[in-house]
Amino acid sequence: MATLSNTTPQSLLTPGDPAPVEIVNADSGHPVLLVCEHAGQAVPARLGDLGLTDGEIDRHIGWDIGAEAVARRMAATIGCACVIQPYSRLVIDCNRPPGALDSIPEVSDGTTVPGNLRLDDTWRNARVNEIFEPYHDALADRLDRVPSRVAVSIHSFTPHFGGASRLWDIGFLFRKDEHTSTRLAEILRSENPDLHIGMNQPYQIDDLSDWFVPQHGEARGLPHSLIEIRNDHIDTPEGQDRWADMLAVTLRRWLEGALAQRGIR
């Protein structure tokens, strides 16, 4: 277990740390935009290993298992851009409002995160200012500069949580924009009738626990959906390929239908 720095940082990130955002296919003008807020497991060098025991950050508490690989494969297949956030959600959760209890969690699914205990405002603000804000500024800039017809955030969920089993294969999460998620689910089901698809499962969207949907999708009136894939389906390259292909086909068919409604070919 590495030692955590307890000195007040002039900055949190060092030159050896990853940038807080990566845009895959940055030059693409494709009207689909993919987002992956829980892609990585990186921890800034100044935070050591957050005091975690070996293997904890590899669990679903540390990242969305398989989500980045699926998002990258989808971006390659579709030819669209994908905005990726590489830091562990235990450093700061980039799909939570700053200040939310689980934005920088002290405990996650029963695991205490020592590096997050009793944070003072300087350390907390450093994570917001150097990871959360640059990531969302880059995503907002992308949405402002490159017209999109749909934005989709790719996540994964653990099949067992809080003593309960989650039997869905995939969930589509939404709030005000019910139409987009409903249509995506219909398309996916038409091609894969055996899938167990949840609507607003295993989570529901609200202002206190989400950022992408209210702050990017709803704020722009942009068609959007947050997609949750059960992580035991995408913890291997074969599973990642399968789900990336299924969702790429689904998004292409959605886009064809949306353009046809507007008389665009």
Domain ranges for the chain: 22-260
Q: Decide if 67 contacts 155 (C-beta within 8 A).
A: yes
User: Considering the entire predicted model, what is its pTM?
Assistant: 0.94
pLDDT of residue 9: 59
Q: d(Cα 176, Cα 1) in Å, to the nearest integer?
A: 44
Q: d(Cα 252, Cα 107) in Å, to the nearest integer?
A: 39
Calculate the CA dihedral of residues 132, 154, 109, 5 and round it to 10 degrees. -30
Tens digits of pLDDT across the chain (265 residues): 444 555 555 799 999 999 999 999 999 999 999 999 999 999 999 999 999 999 999 999 999 999 999 999 999 999 999 999 999 999 999 999 998 999 999 999 999 999 999 999 999 999 999 999 999 999 999 999 999 999 999 999 999 988 889 999 999 999 999 999 999 999 999 999 999 999 999 999 999 999 999 999 999 999 999 999 999 999 999 999 999 999 999 999 999 998 887 665 5
Burial of 265 (0-12, 13-18, 19+ CB in 10 A): exposed
Distances from the Cα of 86 to the Cα of 13, 131, 184, 190, 253, angstroms? 13, 9, 27, 34, 29
Which class in CATH covers the domain with range 22-260? alpha beta
> Phi/psi at 85 (nearest 5 deg)?
-115, 120
pLDDT of residue 3: 43
pLDDT of residue 7: 52
pLDDT of residue 260: 81
Residue count of the chain, please give it. Answer: 265
Q: d(Cα 185, Cα 139) in Å, to the nearest integer?
A: 25
Structure token digits, residue 208: 């206190």
